Amino acid sequence: MKIVDSNKQLKKHISQLYRERILVYPILTSLDKHPIKTRVSALIISDGTLDLFVNYNNIDASKIDEKVEFHNFKEVYIVGMKDFLYHYDFLPNMYDLEMSLFWQAKPFDVQEKPIYTIFRRRQAPKANDLIPIWKHYEQFEDWKKLFVDSKISKFSQLYPKALQWVEKNGLYTDLDTLEHTQYNTLTTTSRPSNTFGGVNYAALKKNDGTRSRFISRFENGKLCQLDFDGYHIRLISKLIGIDIPLDKKAHGWLANQYGKDISQAKAITFRQLYGGVEDEYYHIPFFKKTSDYINSLWLDFLRNREVVTPILQRKIKFDENLNKNKLFNYVLQALETERNIFILDKLSKINLNQKSVPILYTYDSILFDVDANEENYIREVKSIMEKDGFPVEIEIGNNYDNMVKTDI
């Protein structure tokens, strides 16, 4: 490993790296702060043969101030790309190493070295500036071993980029502060968890006042939530080739086939979808075809010990004991997440000059902070989210606790 501690050395050694593919291991100063609230301590960059420790703030070496330019490399694999994007602009040649391995169902389990645990316990605010360079390099070597298995995929680029875009916008509070969420996509189904600072932003309670602190950052602005109607029902309908009328509520459409009111029908529907179709409802085409799909999926899994997601063709392998209904639920969550990530990616590219932004993604809904002068923004968002037959309902309010349904 070569320690790069001058701008002159940076230019010299970066030019020596193999241009086809490199690995970047970012080291942020803080172990505990949100990545938007800390700085880069160092980067370890490798082409598999030459390893460079580019020092910005570690006390073991002189510091440089010039940023690394990554546009000249064909493939740039980053450990923790989502956090990296708080400090470097996204480039089309960037991919997340963890997500690349995850997409291929390649096993990886890099354990944090004990020194990081020690510094966490000490609550050192600039821990990574103090940890010796050689200790950082030891941690990096575990990732370098996995670098050989990295492979380009849309999955490893879209997920960190789209979710970081939502994270960085933050939730504005009535205390004139921003709370930042933190999505973790390394879950079995890739449906991200979202917890930071002890708050589970994916499951904020509706009845304890927790949501009321979140307001618009704009003068006379509003919070606006777009919620998919019967999202899982409509996703399933696409998988099995059944059309649900766009002018009907998905749960109401099924309720009419049961001859039940909608509150009773929801319980019946969820029982069929997640617990297996009962004989009593097998005559309904939606459930017959759903049952056939579940059985086919299960047979594929028994043959291959893996399944492939419907959109991005990600392999999912399972070590745990499964049944066919649990497997179906996993695939459904993966489908939901993949479609939503594409939506977020499209939203990030519309009218880049607008002020309004998404601030919270919660699986079947997206919450936006909307400037008073940008009503058309929500109409454009609605159009993108509803593409291919997925109607949404809109709620608007002065805070996240008091939202009312509206038509736009």
- Contacts from 58-61 at CB under 8 Å and sequence distance 24+? 58/27, 58/128, 58/129, 58/130, 58/131, 58/133, 58/136, 59/129, 59/130, 60/132, 60/133, 61/3, 61/5, 61/133
Please report, as a single letter, which amino acid is at residue 308.
Answer: V
Q: How far apart are CA 330 and CA 336, in angstroms?
A: 10
Please state the domain extents for the chain.
Answer: 2-153, 155-408
Phi, psi of 280 (to 5 degrees): -60, -25
The three state secondary structure string of 94-115 is EEEHHHHHHHCCCCCCCCCCHH
Q: What is the pLDDT of residue 263?
A: 86
The number of beta carbons lying within 10 Å of the beta carbon of residue 348 is 16
Q: What is the pLDDT of residue 16?
A: 93
pLDDT digits (tens, 9 = 90+) for 318-376: 766 889 999 999 999 999 999 999 999 999 998 778 999 999 999 999 999 999 999 89
Q: Domain 155-408 belongs to what architecture? A: 2-Layer Sandwich (3.30)
What predicted TM-score, i.e. pTM, was given to this entire model? 0.95
Q: How far apart are CA 249 and CA 28, in angstroms?
A: 47
- Looking at domain 2-153, its CATH class is alpha beta
Question: Do the beta carbons of residue 230 and residue 250 sit within 8 Å?
Answer: yes
Q: How far apart are CA 179 and CA 296, in angstroms?
A: 44
Question: Do the beta carbons of residue 347 and residue 381 sit within 8 Å?
Answer: yes
Q: What is the pLDDT of residue 166?
A: 97
Query: 3-class SS at 170?
Result: coil
Please determine, for residue 378, whether its predicted confidence score (pLDDT) is greater than 90: yes
Rounded mean pLDDT of the chain?
A: 94
